[in-house]
Amino acid sequence: MFSIQSRLQLLFVLIVTLVLTISGSYAQYSLGKELESSNQRLRDGVLTRLGISLPSALWDLDKAKVETILEAEMLPPEVVSIRVYDSAVGLFAGKARGADGGLVAAGRQPPAGATPVAAELVFRDAGSASTSMQPVAVGKVVVYFSRAQIDAALSSELMRKVVEVLLLDVILVLALSLSLRVVFRPLRRLSDGLFELATRSTGEVEELPENRRDELGDVIRGFNQIQRRLKSTILRIREAEDAALRSAQQTEQAMTDLRRTQESLLQAERLASLGSLVAGVAHEINTPVGIALTSASVLKDATDQLQAAVAADGLKKSVVLRYLETAAESTRLIINNAYRAAHLIHSFKQIAVDQTSEARRRFALMAYIDEIVTSLRPKLKNIAIELKLEGDDDIVLDSYPGAFAQVITNLMLNCAEHAFSPDHPGTIDIHARVVGDMVELLLTDNGKGIPPEALDRIFDPFFTTRRGQGGTGLGLNIVYNLVVKQFCGTIKARSTVGVGTEFTLRIPRVTPRDGAVDIDAVESAGAPPH
């Protein structure tokens, strides 16, 4: 990872190198063009001079003069070889540049790497008296030019430019290193301070010195101010966290106490409802037991009278007939009321045993609801409530009958206490049916109804509309907890003021033993419209 300083140095070096490269390339191109132009002028000059001086010497076959002319023209180092050809005899004379730079006679093979340029030699006799003589081609000259000087000059210029660029880059890097150090050294200290502030405790981080009087000094002073404010904020946050932790611990303890209290209240409510049933059943049993006791007393008196008549030998047919009539009526009353009391005791006994235990068993739904209703009749006799049960007798649940009895008991007592009054009797309908693997139970009354503002809160704990009149607000909350948590089902309520209320319970026919049931799937299954 490159630092900002390294990237700035690299950027400036790249820019300078690019500018110098473009400038050097243009200078190199201009130098090449200039050298090419100069070389072309040299070629033209050499060929022009040879075209003037050689024809006469070649016409006279003066080889020494020709070689002298050639030596003079080979003074420029660009000329590496000149060959003069006679039109009759071929190669007449020639000069070449040797390895040591000196001139030697030209061989038959042309020099390698040289560029040949040829020109035809034409002789014009300007000193002849005859004017009819035409120009005569006496031979040709071939000049070999080398580009070594041009390439060397270009290479030398290129090397000079490269050295210049490298030298400028080195100078620039040194200059930038020295100048940027003035900026980046305090920035590095500021960065180290920020890193320490982020990773270490604020109390361990020292403030940066504020002795600079430039822009960076303002930044450092701002950093120190932020650090001081941050320390103050962190201190306040820690104090708030400590307070929040203490508050959370107190809240958790309060919630634990509240749960324990709520559980105690729920248990007390369940036992209170069972105790209320005991009182009602005891009061209800008192009537048939009293009638049976009275009938038994009447029968005993009649029996005593008959025994007295037999002992006195005054037994008459009318006395026997009157005794038999009294005995029959008393026996009928005793049997009927004893059966009634036994039925009440049996229903209450089953309900009481179920409610005081968590035993799980299979039970017939409608028959068990009938037993629950029977045990509740003493509590409902002060209100003229008509109970209607409707459902298949073969519906069997594998569940917890005690909890189920608690649900039905609380729902019916809730109806008796809130929906009706002694002056306004009504009807409670209980309808059961099977929907797939679920049992749907509808408990409907035609009572007063529940106001809309209270309907959404009826299952909340401690919510009641009879505060101060004996209402605890736990009855329907117990119902909700039992249906949802123990039976893994759902319960919903809908009501219209002045029309009545309907509770819809949906529970599995076989309650899961681990309580693991997808409540959303149960709700989405839905019941068909009714």
Domains assigned to the chain: 4-122+138-166 (no CATH), 203-356 (no CATH), 357-530 (3.30.565.10)
Amino acid at 290: G
418/380 Cα distance (integer angstroms) = 13
Tokens describing residue 202: 């604020």
426/224 Cα distance (integer angstroms) = 80
Residue 517, pLDDT score: 42
Residue 111, pLDDT score: 81
Compute the 3-state secondary structure of the chain and give helix, strand, coil in percent, each to the nearest 5. 60, 15, 25
309, 310, 315, 317: CA torsion to nearest 10: 110
The alpha carbon of 134 is separated from its chain's Cα centroid by a whole number of angstroms, namely 105
β-pairing, 90-97 vs 396-399, is: unpaired
Query: In this structure, how many other beta carbons lie within 10 angstroms of the beta carbon of residue 408?
Result: 21
**Residue 119 — φ and ψ, nearest 5°?**
-145, 140
185/179 Cα distance (integer angstroms) = 11
Residue 526 gets the label, from left (phi > 0), alpha (psi -120 to 50) or beta, of left
377/389 Cα distance (integer angstroms) = 14
* Inter-residue contact 38 to 131 (CB < 8 Å): no
415/404 Cα distance (integer angstroms) = 17
Which of helix, strand or coil describes residue 135? coil
**Is 20 exposed, middle or buried (CB count within 10 Å of its CB: 0-12, 13-18, 19+)?**
middle
CA atoms 431, 435, 439, 445: torsion sign: negative
383/416 Cα distance (integer angstroms) = 8
Lateral strand order in the sheet of 103-105: 103-105, 90-97, 79-86, 136-145, 115-123
Q: What is the pLDDT along the chain (530 residues), one digit of tens a residue?
A: 567 677 777 888 888 888 888 888 888 889 889 988 988 898 889 888 888 888 888 888 888 898 898 888 888 888 888 888 887 768 888 888 887 878 888 877 778 778 888 888 887 765 554 445 578 888 888 999 888 888 888 888 889 888 988 888 888 888 887 877 777 777 777 777 777 766 666 555 677 777 767 676 777 777 778 777 877 887 888 889 999 999 999 988 888 887 787 666 656 665 555 555 565 556 556 667 777 788 788 888 888 888 887 888 767 778 788 888 888 888 877 887 776 677 666 655 555 554 545 678 899 999 989 888 887 776 676 677 888 899 988 999 999 888 888 888 888 888 888 888 777 778 899 999 999 999 999 999 998 888 888 888 888 877 777 655 555 667 788 888 889 988 999 999 999 998 999 999 999 999 987 654 444 443 443 333 33
- Which ranges of 312-417 would DSSP assign to H, the alpha helix? 317-355, 365-380, 401-414
Residue 234, pLDDT score: 79
